[in-house]
Structure 1
Amino acid sequence: MMTTSIPFGYLISVLFVAWCTYYAVAPNNFPRIFNSLGSYFVVINELPFFALFWLIGSTSLAFIEGDVYSLVGWMAFGITILAVGALIVIIHRGLQTAPIVSQSMDYSLGEKWRTSLNPLIERQLHKKFNVTALLGPFFRRRYEIERIANISYGNAGVRNQLDVYRHRYHPTDCPTYWT
């Protein structure tokens, strides 16, 4: 006979991912509790695949352990389904940005900027998906690369901010050179 327990660990992890996902997909005029912390919660926008795998893994574990077979477990599973749907929206939105970024680079650097790149790098620009992007947070950053965070590029507040990674020594022949 299988005994059921109250899966608070499963519920808490699912609620956290769902909360962060809500901050990333909800329109700006939707109510947000702890709105001042919203920029920290919206980090899920950068790691949707990681969050998706986290939910799949924790849900699989909850089923294996029998934790889903309680009221709290089924509630957590329902929240998981909603969060997975929202994560798919985030992933879809992310995949739509490649043409926009390319168009912006063409506008800023001229349409022939790609011809000055190393052919290996140029080929990577055409990829829509990169497996190493899934594990990106676990890799140590390279020292010669600097990050310029939260550059505003529109009027939608934190939803129109980007981070630029560029060579720390600012060589003039790089596409992200500015003073």
Structure 2
Amino acid sequence: MKLLTASVTVSSVSEGGRPSYSFGLAANELPFAAFFWLLLLPTALAFAEGDIHTAGGWAVVALAVVTTIGLTVIARRALGERARIERAMTEGLGAGWRAAATGSTSTTTARARPARPC
């Protein structure tokens, strides 16, 4: 499990092409979930059960630590993306894109909303 999480994280952090995108999508979109469910909880459980007393056990803990660093890089990159996406949307769609997307009539002309099924 930790090896899979580590390889997905490496794929997300790398600047590769399409295989990197496809393979790292889950960790890239949900780095906190990958950290808690795939690293923190199993590692804590292994420590609680006393399974970390061999060289292999410590190697797995080291892999989890390195993977955690990679997930931190992913989360840090994501923090600045909202402003970048806002600028790109404004540049591509114009200043009133958000109002048009939400159906607000403050900066756009009124449009009929489709009826929602009950």
TM-score range, shorter chain: 0.7 to 0.9
Deviation track 1:78-100 (CA, whole Å, cap 9, x = no partner) reads: 01000000001001111111011
Per-residue Cα deviation, 1:132-162 (whole angstroms, up to 9, x for no partner): xxxxxxxxxxxxxxxxxxxxxxxxxxxxxxx
* Deviation by residue 1:38-73 (Cα, 9 ceiling, x = unmatched): 444212212211111121111111111111121111
Verify the 8 A CA contact 2:6 2:67 in the aligned structure 1.
yes
TM-score (norm 2): 0.75
| 3-state SS in 2 of match to 1:66 | coil
Distance (whole Å) between structure 1 residues aligned to residue 84 and residue 21 of structure 2: 23
- For 1:112-151, list aligned pairs within 5 A: 112-116=96-100, 117=102
TM-score (norm 1): 0.51
Q: 1: CA distance between counterparts of 2:14 and 2:18?
A: 15
Unaligned ranges ≥5, structure 2: 105-110, 113-118
Alpha-carbon distance in structure 2 between the residues aligned to 1:36 and 1:48: 19
Count the aligned residue pairs. Answer: 104
Q: Are residues 102 and 85 of structure 1, via their aligned partners in 2, closer, same or farther at CA, if it must alter by over 3 Å?
A: same
Structure 2 counterpart of 1:86:
70
SS at match of 1:111: coil
The higher-RCO structure (CA 8 Å, 6+ apart) is 2
Please say if 1:74 is aligned against 2:58: yes
Q: Distance in 2 between matches of 1:96 and 1:18?
A: 24
Structure 1 partner of 2:115: none
Structure 1 range deviating more: 40-49 or 16-25: 40-49
Question: Which of 24, 33, 52 is the aligned partner of 1:42?
Answer: 24
Matches within 5 A, 1:163-174: none
Instruction: Provide closer, same or farther for how the CA distance between residues 26 and 37 of structure 1 changes in structure 2, counting only shifts above 3 A.
Output: closer
Q: Which whole-Å deviations, capped at 9, do the CAs of 1:7-62 have from their partners, x for residues lacking one? A: xxxxxx1111001111111344xxxxxx9854442122122111111211111111
The CA distance in 1 between the partners of 2:19 and 2:92, in whole Å, is 33
Pick closer, same or farther for the CA change 1:47–1:113 going to 2, 3 Å. same
Q: Does 1:61 align with 2:45?
A: yes
Matching residue's letter, 1:91: A
Whichever residue aligns with residue 11 of structure 2, its letter is Y
* C-alpha spacing 1:53/1:118, structure 2 compared with 1 (3 Å): farther
- Could you tell me which runs of 5 or more consecutive residues in structure 1 were left unpaired when the two chains were aligned: 1-12, 29-34, 120-171, 174-179
